[in-house]
Structure 1
Amino acid sequence: MIDLLQRRSTNNRYKIGLVVLILSFLLLLVRPSFVEASDTGWDGALTTIDQLHDSFSALELTNKQNKQQIQVLRKQNNEKLKEINIQVQLIDKVKLDKLKTEADKSQKKYAPLLAEYTDLSKKTTEARKRKDHKSVLLFELKRNRMKASVHAARQEIMLKKDALTAAQKQATAKSKIVKDILVPVQSIKKQITAENKKITDFNKQRIAADKRYKAAVKQGDAVEAASELRLIVGALSQIHASQNKIYEWETMIRSAIYAAEAKLPK
């Protein structure tokens, strides 16, 4: 009986030991696979970060340089546009000022004569209504005596006004040629404004991703860091594309400015 119990105890210990051995073996099989997969993902993330960081640095530098170039070109364009607009306002200004002065001078010179003639006409009409034939006769004599001088005065005034009007039309036509060339500029500027808004949005995305990227680096999470750095590089790439568009549009504005400047009267 005792032998039987000893054999059963020995068998139980053997079974327990066998189970422990099998479990240990299974753990050895599973654990290395898990560690290897984890390490492989982490190492892969490091490689990705290494590659992305080069792109990040290159894009950040390029975008900074492009931004400076755009700012310089935009400043030049705005200054030149302002200068051309001033020159447009000065087209034939000396000539126009002279003609206007002459027209005003002529109008002022003959104002008393024309006022007297108009007054006599009114008095003649009133005298006729009163049937005051004597007054009508006197007023008509005075008025008829002035008629030739009044006619000459009106002719001179009209000629000077016509000369001013013709010169104004010519100046307007010259101005229109220049202004028409610059019409597309406003439309292009609206496109630039819209694209700048996109850049603002891309920058917001970049900043948010950058915060998450730094947090991941602090936690030693290479996989998450790689993911956020990829987003940062993507945003910088979008900014780069937008900047290229803006620079091209600013170049178009510059071309329009040069074309308009060439049409300004010499």
Structure 2
Amino acid sequence: MNKAIAGLLIVIMLAAAVPAAAAAAALELTPTAKSAYDKMLAAADPALSGQIRSLYNEHLDLQRQAAERDNRIQSLHKVNEETLTALRKQIKLIDTDKLNRLDQQAKQARERYKPLFALYTSLNQQIAAAKPLKNKELNAVLRMQADSVQSAIQLARADIRLKEAALKTAKESAAKTIKLIRGTLAEIDPVKARIKAEKSSVSSIQKSVSPVWKGFTQAVKKNDVKGACNMLASVVSQSRQIVVLKQRVHTLESKISEIINKAKAQIPPHAK
């Protein structure tokens, strides 16, 4: 990459960063505006001046609170998403070792008894083939052999049924547990929908507060004390709403944490 292209990329990156920085500082007085603000208050009626100072201090505090809540929300959301990802992977693995072992045991039993079943089938075929010959001695020998194998066949079938039943029971148990946990995690969906709605309300208020803040700074420049007071009061009122909404978002993220912990508690101890 040559220097010209590298320089152009840096300019583009800086330009892209400007709107974000400007947005973050949108509700702060510039040095020039702060100077005009101080002059306005110095010349204003003491009572009105005190009211504006109080509102402005509350405004700064609300800005701080909003930023703190943003940090707490982002931090908790990150933890929730990481925990959810790990939990969903863990759910998929519930009893997989046990199921694999039982499935292998059932397969091994079926393989182990294949020669026995083949022998029993062969004896029965020989009996059927010898029947038209009317050879009592041969028929008796074959019958005796078949009868002796039959008891082993019954035991083999019982062993296979037992192993297949154990596998089926384990599968049903694992499926039931997984369904229960996923049902619990499904409780997160409506909470996320509420978070989305609250964030949408925050965004809407933030868009409406920007022109009001601009009106406040313009009033300050014009030395319009009453106008500045009214505009600032409106900004503070909207900022209070933003802080309340962001607190709701944090509370909802905490609710998601509770649901995740509830789901984690439903994982069987042997599967943790």
TM over 0.5: yes
Q: Percent of aligned pairs with the same residue? A: 29
CA distance in 2 between partners of 1:147 and 1:195 (Å) = 73
Deviations 1:180-217 (A, max 9, x none): 43332221111111111111111111222122222222
* TM-score, scaled relative to structure 2: 0.62
Report the more deviating stretch, 193-202 or 178-187: 178-187
1:194 maps to 197
Q: Structure 2 residue aligned with 1:247, among 247, 250, 257? A: 250
Q: Shift of residue 160 of structure 1?
A: 3.6
Q: Which residue of 1 aligns with 2:52?
A: 49
Distance between the aligned counterparts of 1:255 and 1:63, measured in 2?
Answer: 23
Q: In 2, distance between residues paired with 1:162 and 1:208?
A: 71
Q: Which amino acid aligns with 1:262?
A: A
Give the 3 Å change call, closer, same or farther, for CA 164–46 of structure 1 in structure 2: same
1:84 alignment partner in structure 2: 87
SS in 2 for 1:167: helix
The aligned counterpart of 1:59 is 62
Q: How many equivalent pairs are there? A: 214
- Opposite residue 174 of structure 1, the aligned amino acid is T
Q: Distance in 1 between matches of 2:86 and 2:58?
A: 41
Deviation at 1:225, TM superposition (A): 2.2
Could you tell me which runs of 5 or more consecutive residues in structure 1 were left unpaired when the two chains were aligned. Answer: 1-41, 119-133, 135-140
Shift of 1:104: 4.3
Q: Could you say if the C-alpha distance between residues 240 and 149 of structure 1 is closer, same or farther in structure 2, counting changes exceeding 3 Å?
A: same
Hey, what's the Cα distance between the residues in 2 that align with 1:196 and 1:160? 54
1:85 Cα offset (Å): 1.8
Distance in structure 1 (CA, Å) of the matches to 2:215 and 2:116: 88
**Local SS of the residue matching 2:87:** helix
For residue 227 of structure 2, the aligned residue among 224, 229, 239 is 224
- Deviation per CA, 1:201-243, whole angstroms, max 9, x where unpaired? 1111122212222222233323322222122111110111111
Unaligned regions of 5+ residues in structure 2, if any? 1-43, 122-131, 133-141
Shift of 1:250: 1.8
Aligned equivalents of 2:117 and 2:221: distance in 1?
94
Taking a change above 3 Å as real, the CA distance of residues 53 and 157 of structure 1, as seen in their structure-2 partners, is same
Root-mean-square deviation (Å): 3.9
Normalization by structure 1: what TM-score?
0.64
| Aligned residue among 69, 72, 76 for 1:73 | 76
Question: Which one has the bigger helix percentage?
Answer: 1
Partner Cα distance (2:49, 2:154) in 1? 98
- What is the letter of the counterpart of residue 80 of structure 1? T
Q: Deviations along 1:111-143, whole A, 9 cap, x unmatched?
A: 89999x99xxxxxxxxxxxxxxx9xxxxxx9xx
Task: Give, in whole Å, the separation in 2 of the partners of 1:249 and 1:226.
Answer: 35
Alpha-carbon separation, structure 1, partners of 2:154 and 2:247: 68
Q: Deviations over 1:42-99 (max 9, x none)?
A: 6365443222101101100011111111111121122222222222222111001222
